[in-house]
Amino acid sequence: MDEQKSLVARLFAPPPKNWPAGVKFLATNHWSDSIPLELLAFYVPKQWPPPPQSPASAATPPPTHTPFPVKEATKERRVSVKKITDPSHPAFGQCGLFAATALAARTHILDYVGQVRLAADASETSDYILSFDRVTGLSLDAEFAGGEGRFCNDFRGVCAKANVEFDPYRDSKTGQVKMGIWVLAKDIKKGDELCVSYGKGWWRERGLIS
């Protein structure tokens, strides 16, 4: 019941401060209608935990699916979106994601929320797209609709190394597979920018490094 209340509260929550006009704020992932229902049931099970006898149990992944680890998600709002006003920052004039509270090493901060699509329907131009499941090829794109996670910048030119990572998991409360944003090995101070590594491939594909 508490879980249901907090979901309703999140679904109707207004966009956070500094949210850009033209981007739809999503509290939870939007799953494309073209994703087959059997595939969808693996990522968003109707019943959790699954019934012990069920052969189609979502806990036993088909061999063609990634077996996501079950982890606990935080319920707190732990980030803020801010405009970058420092001219020496490589994303000057854009936005970034910042710690709204101190964040302990290896903890869940928030989820990267967006639109989940089949590989065939994935955007080829989005700068807000992640691989959601390498095995099935699903993508997660927050270009036009998403959550605060879409503002996480790459560490290059900002700080010495990434302080957070994107890693998918199965939410222990709901059974849903989500893309978590997690603190790496060091605690993060309130006010620090959260920076991930997009990977060299991301910059190479855009012709920004060789």
For ligand SAM, give the closer residue by CB, 121 or 143.
Answer: 143
Q: Which position among 42, 68, 128, 132 is part of the footprint of ligand SAM (CB under 6 A)?
A: 128
Q: Does 26 bind ligand SAM (CB under 6 A)?
A: no
196 binds ligand SAM (CB under 6 A): no
* Rounded CA separation 137/148 (Å): 23
Q: Which two tokens stand for residue 25?
A: 């704020």
CB of 207 to ligand SAM, least distance (A): 12
Q: Measure the CA angle with vertex 23, ends 143 and 12; round to 5°.
A: 115
Q: Which of 127, 165, 190, 199 binds ligand SAM (CB under 6 A)?
A: 127
Cα dihedral sign, 28-197-194-86: negative
Q: How large is the C-alpha radius of gyration of the chain? A: 17
Which of 54/94 has CB closer to ligand SAM? Answer: 94
- Which residues, numbered 87-106, are part of the site for ligand SAM (CB under 6 A)? 90-91, 94-96
Report the amino acid identity of residue 75: K
Tokens representing residue 95 in the block: 């936005």
* Alpha-carbon span 91 to 86, nearest angstrom: 9
DSSP letters spanning 97-119: EEESS-B-TT-EEEE---EEE-G
Does the protein bind ligand SAM through residue 153 (CB under 6 A)?
yes
Q: Which of 78, 150, 170, 178 binds ligand SAM (CB under 6 A)?
A: 150
**Please, where are the H alpha helices in the chain?**
2-11, 37-43, 200-205
Closer to ligand SAM at the Cβ: 96 or 147? 96
**Which residue number, 158 or 188, has a Cβ lying nearer to ligand SAM?**
158
Nearest-approach distance from CB 22 to ligand SAM, in angstroms: 11
Interaction site with ligand SAM (CB under 6 A): 90-91, 94-96, 127-128, 150-151, 153-154, 156-158
